[in-house]
Chains A and B, each alone.
Chain A
Amino acid sequence: MSTFDSVVALLYLLAAIGFVVGLHLMNSPATAVRGNRISTVAMAIAVAVTLAVMANDYHVHPAGWAVLAAGTAIGGGGGLRVARRVKLTDIPQLVSVFNAVGGGAAALVAVNDFVRLSPHIPTRADVTTVLDVVIGVVTFTGSIVAAGKLQGLVSGAPVVWKGSRATNGVLGAAALGLAAYILSGSQNVAVLGALCAVLAVIGVLLVLPIGGADMPVVISLLNAFTGTAVAMAGFVIENSGLIIAGALVGASGTILTKLMADAMNRSVLAIIAGGFGTGEAAGPVGPGGASVQPIQADDAAIQLAYASKVVIVPGYGLAAAQAQHEVRALADLLEERGVEVSYAIHPVAGRMPGHMNVLLAEANVPYPQLKEMSDINPEFPLTDVALVIGANDVVNPAARRPGTPISGMPILDVDQARSVIVIKRSMSAGYSGIDNELYTDPKTHMLFADAKAGLADLASAVKALVGT
């Protein structure tokens, strides 16, 4: 090994250490910023080393440099622009899009390698090439569908049709056949193209039947897939940096996926099989149902202002309305009056785990006020008013009974509070598509408003009360 090669290998190792240490520092909010910075430096090292390798080991055609520069300018510039401008509520979609392009790029690394070497590939590249293409392409189209579902471009409801299972079976068999043909030694680029096409369809069909409520878990899973595809790409081009970083992400994504699925008391397999929507026994709770009690902001403000303990339950409606600053303002007003305010954070409230934490952190809500589900649930019986803002399935008592699409999902025990105020735009169902029994509970009052407007009204009503 030449000195240059040794230095390159050691610098890749340094980058890998940076990724591990960076991820480790994400353990606590206090060190997370530093962790991400170390990870960024590690990435810069890996890229710089690779530039040196390109200049030293390859006779890169000027066209190669031009193509790389142009592609990086377009992709990097676009990525930076979107990352800076994206609304907080849209971050899950963006992560999904980054999964898509990451998986797509990993697959393309293998495709490129295959095309370039197609007359004579060593056996070794074959297995990892196929694995890379399979995982990468499925992740690419699957992530696009997942992002589309969250963005509302694709129906959030589970999309299933008669014969979908048979279709999947046929496509799966076709993919297996094509993969086996390549593994048997075929160097036909057209066969690889056909495999990619079949896999692209499979990726779409895998995510379509999964309901929007499960998208956080799916995106986390696809994140793990992308990492694994990148690791496979590392095998294809024999680059240890890709293998290490890809495997790290594959493992982290898997753990995260499991944690999220556990929080919903569901198995990852059940979600992939199209969990929500397959519970045909479910059915809504009777069409005529119980009636709801609307409430005006003034009356709700009185309840809040004279409570001694208020628990705020934020949900996707809060995020969608960008009402984090308004909720903080209302909480400040209540605290000035000596009301004890805390926030109940359901692990899957919003569109991904920790979504509410990020959102409330943006509004400078003190960290100790954010209570996790296991900590806050025993406090609900002692709570005077639970203020539910745009949360639905995570507070639906129907989850405690068997036979509903959300059965078994741990929920916030909001119905045990002495009274409940729900700010919601309408009676429409949550992602699970079922009615919420909390809304028809006799001690629940509905404040029909957009979260932002409703909270502003509440705050001014509380102010008026305090003033008099």
Chain B
Amino acid sequence: MSASLLSDISIFVLSLLVGFEVISKVPATLHTPLMSAANSIHGIVFVGAMLAAATANDALGYALAFVTAVFASANLVGGYAVTDRMLQMFKAKRAPAAKDDRR
């Protein structure tokens, strides 16, 4: 096992533990926004799409990089946008003047 693999595994395991701790304290009422927030964080896979585009050097590589970029950017941008939209509703609640009358 290489040193870099060992350090990657350490990072992975410690991040899992941090994730368990951070999340287990969230009240049930925030679960939907939380799921959406976690959903947008895995949009980091866009970084993988960028590096795929950087290393592509043939038609197949470009095609794969393109599809990866479409998928990953949809996850990233859409995830944050929808989470923000949900959270705005919680915020509006404390400022009764800002009534939501879109529908």
Residues on A lying within 8 angstroms of B by beta carbon are 16, 19-20, 22-24, 26-29, 32-33, 35-36, 39-40, 43, 46-47, 50-51, 53-54, 58, 60-61, 63-65, 67-68, 70-72, 74-80, 82-84, 86, 91, 94-95, 98-99, 101-102, 104-106, 108-109, 111-113, 115-116, 124, 219-220, 223, 226-227, 230-231, 233-235, 237-256, 259-260, 263, 322, 325, 345, 347, 352-355, 357-358, 361-367, 370, 372
- The answer to whether B30 and A27 have CB atoms under 8 Å apart is yes
Q: Do residues B42 and A26 form an inter-chain contact, with CB atoms below 8 A?
A: no
A-B contact count (CB 8 A): 374
- Of all chain B residues, the one with the shortest Cβ separation from A55 is B54
A16 and B15 CA atoms in complex are apart in Å by 9
Contact yes or no, A223 B81, CB < 8 A:
no
B30 near A354 with CB under 8 A, answer yes
Could you mark each residue 5-35 of chain B with 1 if its beta carbon is under 8 Å from any beta carbon of chain A, else 0? 1001001110111111011111111111111
Q: Which of A65, A249, A347 contacts B38 (CB 8 A)?
A: A249
Q: List chain B residues, Cβ under 8 A from A347.
A: 28
Q: Give the residues from 78 to 101 in chain B that come closer than 8 angstroms, CB to CB, to chain A.
A: 78-93, 96, 99-100
Closest to A189 in B: B60
Q: A32-B87, A98-B75, A243-B11 are in contact. Are A237 and B37 (CB under 8 A)?
A: no
Contact: B38 with A355, CB < 8 Å?
no
- B35 near A246 with CB under 8 A, answer no
- The smallest C-beta distance from A242 to any residue of chain B, in angstroms, reads 6
Classify chain B's interface size.
35 or more
A108 touches B29 (CB 8 A): no
Pairwise interchain contact B37-A22, C-beta atoms closer than 8 A? yes
Please list the residues of chain B having a beta carbon within 8 angstroms of any beta carbon in chain A.
2, 4-5, 8, 11-13, 15-20, 22-57, 60-62, 64-93, 96, 99-100, 103
Q: Are A76 and B31 in contact (CB under 8 A)?
A: no
Q: Say yes or no: A102-B15 contact (C-beta < 8 A), given A67-B56, A91-B86.
A: no
With A230-B42, A241-B47, A364-B100 known as contacts, the answer to whether A36 contacts B16 (CB < 8 A) is no
A104 and chain B: residue at smallest CB distance: B71
Residues in B neighbouring A239, C-beta threshold 8 A? 47-48, 51
Given A237, A322, A363, which contacts B48 in the complex, CB threshold below 8 Å? A237
CB distance from A455 to the nearest CB of B (A): 15
- B83: A residues at CB distance < 8 A: 36
Q: Are A361 and B72 in contact (CB under 8 A)?
A: no
**In the complex, are the beta carbons of A242 and B48 less than 8 A apart?**
yes
Determine the distance from Cα of A383 to Cα of B54 in the docked complex, in whole angstroms. 64
Q: Kindly list 7 other residue pairs between chains A and B, CB separation below 8 angstroms, not including A64-B55, A71-B67.
A: A64-B65, A68-B69, A102-B75, A226-B39, A226-B42, A249-B41, A362-B89
Q: Is the CB of A101 within 8 A of B4?
A: no
B36: chain A residues at CB < 8 Å are: 91, 95
CB-CB under 8 A for A105 and B71, given A36-B37, A256-B23, A260-B31: yes
Chain B residues lying within 8 Å of A23, measured Cβ to Cβ, are 19, 22-23, 34, 37-38, 41
- Residues of chain B contacted by A250 (CB below 8 angstroms): 16, 19
In the complex, are the beta carbons of A64 and B22 less than 8 A apart?
Answer: no
Q: Which chain B positions have C-beta within 8 A of A251?
A: 15-20, 23
A256 to B41 alpha-carbon distance, docked (Å)? 15
Cβ B37 vs Cβ A357 within 8 A? no
